[in-house]
Structure 1
Amino acid sequence: MLKKIVIIGPESTGKSNLCSALARHYKTGWCPEYARSYLMENGKDYTYEDLLVIAKGQLALEDQYSHQLRSAGMSPLFIDTDMYVMKVWCEFVFNKCHRFILDAIAARRYDLYLLCNTDLPWVQDALREYPDPETREELFRIYRSLLIDQQTPWVEIKGLGTNRIRAAIKAVDGLLNS
């Protein structure tokens, strides 16, 4: 049975790198964040409606990777971003959230969340918006509150370099060996 593990957290907290490292460690696949490719192609000046397009694209990408791994008999699938991230993004930027995203949160099931802490140094790139530590911490608290108030197990991941990866592997092993 395919286990799905979602990596979430504020910008520049190592989500994509962690997904990649975990997929290599477990010899499986990972689903990238759809928003990055969408914004690189369409520009970083996005609208509220763009976030709905991005959310639908993320779910389609997740379904594609899920199907591929199931067909290959592989597990787990590491997912860089889910609808909680879309909810936070919508509400933080536009003070409202699409019903589609809220419904997807209610409908989708995952086996584990890894919440990336903001203890990594900020790395600027063309798409990132919130480099200041106060905003990063506020976003982290929002993600933590969302995870506390839902049923899926979750683990906060922190530390630099191999310590961060080791903490994530320990959390994933806990799920896989239970």
Structure 2
Amino acid sequence: MLKISVTGPESTGKSTISEKLAQHYNTVWVPEYARTYIGNLNRPYTLTDLEAIAREQLAQEAQLERQANHNLLFADTDLLVLKIWSENAFGQCPAWILDQLQQHKYNLYLLMGVDLPWEPDPQREHPHLRQHFYDLYKKELQQLQVPFVEISGLQEERFLMARQYIDKLIRNAEMKI
């Protein structure tokens, strides 16, 4: 199973490209569970909420992995998003998320650039800090020593760039069989 995470700051097209890539490769994508959870919350979110979101995100990923075609799955967010979100909002991250972040790896991370226009959304919090967060994501991915590529440009350029990296990943995986 090849698993690809689409990660990065708010309003960088993660959901759009995740869905589009899944359609292109005729497989499944795991939506960002935080949107549903926070959307149904009638109070400010807490550190405990972020851990609950992380647990359900992984549970949904495991469920959808069984439905994936062509041994390929796209995840619209990952535990790195929850780590950075948690540390920014609360100054700390639940130990469970940190442990899982070390164990739960993807074959490729697509780090989405901040060169798309900001799209306001009631759940988005930091339009003026996107570059700051992008730099945090890049640093964290480097520290985790995981394979990642930076994706930028307009939506169509991002889609084509991502496909090039994914096609290469698929070819390399097929050569190992």
Question: Identical aligned pairs, as a percentage?
Answer: 44
Q: TM-score, normalised by structure 2?
A: 0.93
1:27 maps to 26
2:109 maps to 113
Could you give the per-residue CA deviations for residues 46-99 of structure 1, whole angstroms, max 9, x where no partner exists? 111111111111111111111222xxx533100011111111011011110100
1:128 maps to 124
Q: 1:11: how far off?
A: 0.4
Distance 1:44 1:7 in 2: 28
Distance 2:105 2:91 in 1: 25
Q: Is 143-152 or 6-15 further displaced after alignment?
A: 143-152
Distance 1:161 1:47 in 2: 33
Distance 2:165 2:112 in 1: 12
Q: 1:30: how far off?
A: 0.3
RMSD across aligned positions (CA): 1.1
1:81 maps to 77
Q: Contact 1:44–1:127 at 8 Å: present in 2 too?
A: no
Paired positions, count:
172
1:168 maps to 162
Q: 1:157 to 1:44 in 2, by over 3 A?
A: farther
Q: 1:161: how far off?
A: 2.5
- Partner letter of residue 102 of structure 2? A
Runs of 4 or more above 6 Å deviation: none
Question: Can you give the 5+ residue segments of structure 2 that lack an aligned partner in the other structure?
Answer: 173-177
Distance 2:86 2:155 in 1: 31
Q: 1:44: how far off?
A: 6.4
Distance 1:116 1:150 in 2: 17
Distance 2:32 2:167 in 1: 23
Q: How does 1:1-178 map to 2 (within 5 A)?
A: 2-43=1-42, 45-69=44-68, 73-132=69-128, 135-178=129-172
Q: 1:129 to 1:44 in 2, by over 3 A?
A: farther
Q: 1:15 to 1:44 in 2, by over 3 A?
A: farther
Question: Can you give the 5+ residue segments of structure 1 that lack an aligned partner in the other structure?
Answer: none
Q: Contact 2:3–2:72 at 8 Å: present in 1 too?
A: yes
* SS of match in other structure, 2:164: helix
Q: Contact 2:54–2:79 at 8 Å: present in 1 too?
A: yes
Q: 1:110 to 1:44 in 2, by over 3 A?
A: farther
- Partner letter of residue 168 of structure 2? G
Q: TM-score, normalised by structure 1?
A: 0.93
Q: Contact 2:102–2:144 at 8 Å: present in 1 too?
A: no
* SS of match in other structure, 1:42: coil
